Structure 1
């Protein structure tokens, strides 16, 4: 891995290379009453992100390089291209984050990096670069679970006490879990097939939304939400509700994808040139958004009923936190807020700018682990042994427990949106 010019550009910046005891750093922070500063690196998929935060939740600096437009040209994320672009940009991204924070590496207390789950070629770049910074700066290293970071990001900007219910919906994942503390999670449901963001992107490409100028710069999910807001008759296209007879919290979006493609194949008026968006696209997008939202809301409502029935969270602090790229959808957020109000839960959405993959959420997860003294690695041999994982479980599975509870659940009416 190439050395970062900004880190090594001045003589004074070489001070961090001198051996120092990490335990002395902790003592120094305690004596000086200075919050610890964590640098986080995110490369789990197609965005190269670096964030710098302190243990009070203050964002000191951040930078990101998005690969979205590159992968849009290829019709989807190409892992080999994603990995190559991470290698090309990670040094500059980290330099820019440090510059925006007006800091040098010697003032950073620990390095955190995403090591699971994600695209192996992408994860490998962040893990290697994170270990490189840890080595040359003699800093502790904190491996980060990408989904755990999403689940905890909200605590950086808002007081949310443990335990709470979290819904994570993105281009790579969909799951419901109880967050017990910084490193204890209970998964109530996850996806049986494709993630919601992935399906929305595929449907948007099939609808040729990128050929409409106002949507050309948007992700698939953003384009569908924007198109749906212009619908004149959201009920014109009908999609059967998903998994309504399955009394669990599992998600399935592949059926919606298949049904949407069948609609497009059968409608005679949809036989248009490849470079032209299909007719009646606004109503179609509204129907897609509605069936997605109802499915997510029903599974989430069942998770709430499970928690209430089992008295797993004190009534006065029952909270639903949503995060992940798809959580940026305002229609979904408003629908979930209605469900929460009907079921006695407080609704909290992670700020949209932090819902998508970013280095700040990794840095904050590192800060939470630093404060709890959880998985903060200081031994050099142990750090070098840290490896990446393409797939990784999210805490302990309670999926069968939810299934055994056999909770009948009728979706709260969403007529208010």
Structure 2
């Protein structure tokens, strides 16, 4: 038996054991937990997982398209769609195999249907509906951002309500989670998302040609180089300082970064596509500006929620999730902000911050337990490339016009120190 087979067998046994351990009733007799299969294809990762209603992850699988899209310089929707089609069956079968669960044993199938790339969402929905119809299983349509927001309840004990910041390549959202499908939207990006912006700056800096970054995604390359850069060598004007709301903007910051890069290329006498000698300093400055912008808007959201008694000042919690939440510089800055304002700070582990099947299955479990959005007929179900999260109260935030105090020096020192953490 080769090492891969041994590893798979070990995973099967571990998953099955976890399921059996969690299947005891008060009488001491075993009973079957409700099992949900989650399927994720909203962007460029094909994910599947089986999770039970006690929060045990019985099996999971993921196919990442990163290498393909790195070569192309960005995600090409038709390519992502084709790769989803080629891999979805294998990914789902692997998740089921590792879990030791058959489709017949499932209580429901949960799948991302919004928001995301239309061509990618189509693949997951079509495959899932075929399974649902074949095995006559209930279907739970999942809002991708709701799933990110609730993943923390799989890994930590956190009660509603809580403040949640969702940072990714496609989204930047501040909301209050009041229940499983009950959100108050405080603010969001009015243009591009932070992950998208960091990727674009990385491409403009040609970081794929940098010896330390050739195999890294753009945002990861920026974070890596920033660790040994000096952000104070380049200062970028922070976006939206005149607007007292919780919305974000990153396109202007991207333009400022591009102008700085062009200026430095002229000074160094190099062409676009060559690596600047000050590339690490620019990476650090861009990352720092993104972090401070995010921190300032989150600070206002905290003050708004406490002022309006949406959150209790005694047990308030800030949850940060999404792919960009894996950035340790941004994460540590937000941790410092939370500490300074007596908020508990929680993040899912990095592997669950990026897109995956576990978060979709868990959202399915949460909805199944709450009896929300469980469909026994899938007639008319459609994917939605764009979909708001919750009730938009961003105008109320703006009307309150809360002034955010300047970030204290000790907070900024802490953020700077986080730049040195590997």
The question of a shared fold, defined as TM-score above 0.5 by the shorter chain, is answered with yes
Aligned to 2:8: none
Output one character per residue of 1:42-93: Cα deviation in whole Å (capped at 9) or x when no partner.
0001111111111111111111111111111111111111111111110011
* 8 Å contact kept, 1:207–1:277: yes
Q: What are the equivalent positions in structure 2 for 1:200-349 lying under 5 Å apart? A: 200-231=198-229, 233-267=230-264, 268-269=266-267, 271-273=269-271, 276-349=274-347
Change (3 A) 1:277 1:161: same
Residue correspondence of structure 1 range 329-408 to structure 2 within 5 A: 329-379=327-377, 383-408=378-403
| Alignment partners' CA distance in 2, 1:69 and 1:35 | 38
Deviations 1:79-131 (A, max 9, x none): 11111111111001111111111222112211000000011100000011111
Consecutive unaligned residues of structure 1, counting only runs of 5 or more, are 1-30
Alignment of 1:62-101 (within 5 A): 62-101=60-99
Matches within 5 A, 1:2-17: none
Partner of 2:118: 120
What's the CA shift for 1:34? 2.8
Aligned equivalent of 1:409: 404
Instruction: Report the Cα distance in structure 2 between the residues aligned to 1:202 and 1:107, rounded to whole angstroms.
Output: 45
**Corresponding residue for residue 7 of structure 1:** none
Aligned-partner Cα distance in 2 for 1:387–1:126 = 11
Task: Give the C-alpha shift of residue 161 in structure 1.
Answer: 0.4
For residue 175 of structure 1, give the secondary structure of its aligned residue in structure 2.
strand
Matched position secondary structure for 2:386 = coil
Counterparts of 2:365 and 2:71, CA distance in 1: 37
* CA–CA distance in structure 2, aligned partners of residues 127 and 317 of structure 1: 39
Deviations 1:224-273 (A, max 9, x none): 11100011x32001101221111000000001100111111122245535
1:283-339: CA deviation from partner (whole Å, max 9, x where unpaired) = 111100110000000000000000111111122220000000000011111111111
Which runs of at least 4 in structure 1 moved beyond 6 Å after TM superposition? Answer: none
Contact 2:238/2:253 (CA < 8 Å) preserved in 1?
A: no
For 1:34 and 1:305, the matched residues in 2 are separated by 45
Which moves more between the two structures, 239-248 or 143-152? 239-248
- Whether the 8 Å CA contact 1:248–1:406 is kept in 2: the answer is yes
Aligned pairs, how many?
383
Cross-structure match for 1:24: none
TM-score (normalizing by structure 2): 0.89
Match of 2:129 among 128, 131, 137: 131
**1:53 equivalent in structure 2:** 51
Query: 3-state DSSP class of the match of 1:304?
Result: helix
Assess if the C-alpha contact under 8 Å between 1:297 and 1:411 holds in 2. Answer: no
- Is contact 2:167–2:322 with CA below 8 Å preserved after alignment? yes
Which residue of structure 1 lines up, in the alignment, with residue 191 of structure 2? 193
CA positional deviation for 1:411: 3.7
Assess if the C-alpha contact under 8 Å between 1:208 and 1:278 holds in 2. no
CA distance in 2, matches of 1:412, 1:155: 30
Q: TM-score, normalised by structure 1?
A: 0.90
Cα offset for 1:415?
A: 1.4
CA deviation vs aligned residue, 1:362-407 (integer Å, no higher than 9, x gap): 000000000001011113xxx1321000100100001000001110
Task: Give the Cα separation in 2 of the matches to 1:110 and 1:183.
Answer: 18
Structure 2 unaligned blocks of 5 or more: 1-28, 416-422
Counterparts of 1:397 and 1:301, CA distance in 2: 19
SS at match of 1:132: helix
Aligned in 2, Cα 1:270/1:43: closer, same or farther, shift over 3 Å? Answer: farther
Label 1:411 to 1:59 Cα distance change in 2 as closer, same or farther (>3 A): farther
Q: Distance in 2 between matches of 1:391 and 1:411?
A: 35
